[in-house]
Amino acid sequence: MIELYYCKLPESRESTGIDKLLFHVSKERQLRIKRFVKIDDAYRSLIGDLLVRFALKERYGSIDRELKIETNDYGKPFLSEYPSIHYNISHSGEYVVCAVHDDAVGVDIEYMGPYDLPLAKGFFSEEEYQDLLNAKDDGIATFYDIWTLKESYVKAVGEGLSKPLKDFSMKKHTDGFVQITDIHTDRQITDYICKQYMVDSGYLLSVCAHHAKDDQFRSEPTCVIFQELCESLNCHS
């Protein structure tokens, strides 16, 4: 199964709350989290790490105190001690999401606020841009459909910025099927599959998984309350 967990930032966000939870992540991650100037950014980063621990604990029941997180040549993190587990983190506004799969996986969540049309022109394929221009109403839903799908695919492939967003095109059909097409070869990419979910009323989440089938996606992502996340790790905040 492709597991998908999301957590909303706690209403009360203080540095003391961060300090109580830091010992659950590696020394390197602790230093990185402490460097954040904005407390919300620190919480987002920490919750992402804790969701990975939560997901592993759900799978295995118990895990080592410190997870060794490494990165590939393009900066995508992976767990060297769990080579059969692939994960990806995304956050936006009030939410952090973690996707876990037995193969490559990417996830993107975005708050569906006003968008920048020049941004779309710069990063969307010609077909995607035309779909946006032809969209009904204000085009917000279409923009975030395309944007989150593209981001989730790029993150699943794991090649970072070396994979230009204009090199492929996303087409969401009325039945929810997402067609991925290589622009240069006009070949449909079939070894990756995407699915979308709404989180709350204003957040769109897209997940893309390698060598997956429709029935491996859950009908809804799993909501993990922040307090539940803390308690699962035998800590309090």
Query: What does the pLDDT look like over 13-67, one tens digit per residue?
Result: 999 889 989 988 888 889 999 999 999 999 999 999 999 999 999 988 877 667 7
Query: What does the pLDDT look like over 151-189, one tens digit per residue?
Result: 999 999 998 878 899 999 999 998 989 999 999 999 999
- Asked, for residue 145, whether it belongs to a domain, the answer is yes
Give one DSSP letter per residue of 37-87, joined into a string. SSHHHHHHHHHHHHHHHHHHHHHHS---SS--EEE-TTS-EEETT-TT-EE
144 pLDDT band (50/70/90 cuts)? very high
120 pLDDT band (50/70/90 cuts)? very high
Q: What is the pLDDT of residue 201?
A: 87
For 208, what's the count of Cα atoms within 13 Å in the CB-facing half-sphere?
26
Task: Spell out the alpha helix ranges (H) of the chain.
Answer: 15-21, 27-34, 39-60, 117-123, 126-133, 140-157, 226-232
- Asked, for residue 176, whether it belongs to a domain, the answer is yes
Q: What is the pLDDT of residue 166?
A: 95
Query: What does the pLDDT look like over 59-117, one tens digit per residue?
Result: 888 776 677 888 888 888 899 888 889 999 999 999 999 999 999 999 999 999 999 99
- Asked, for residue 93, whether it belongs to a domain, the answer is yes
- Asked, for residue 237, whether it belongs to a domain, the answer is no
Q: Quote the tokens at residue 231.
A: 């308690």
Which CATH number covers residue 113? 3.90.470.20
Please tell me the distance from the alpha carbon of residue 201 to that of residue 71, in angstroms, as a whole number. 33
- Write phi, then psi, for 90 (nearest 5 degrees): -145, 155
Residue 5 near residue 54, CB atoms below 8 Å: yes
**Residue whose structure tokens are 């994960």:** 87
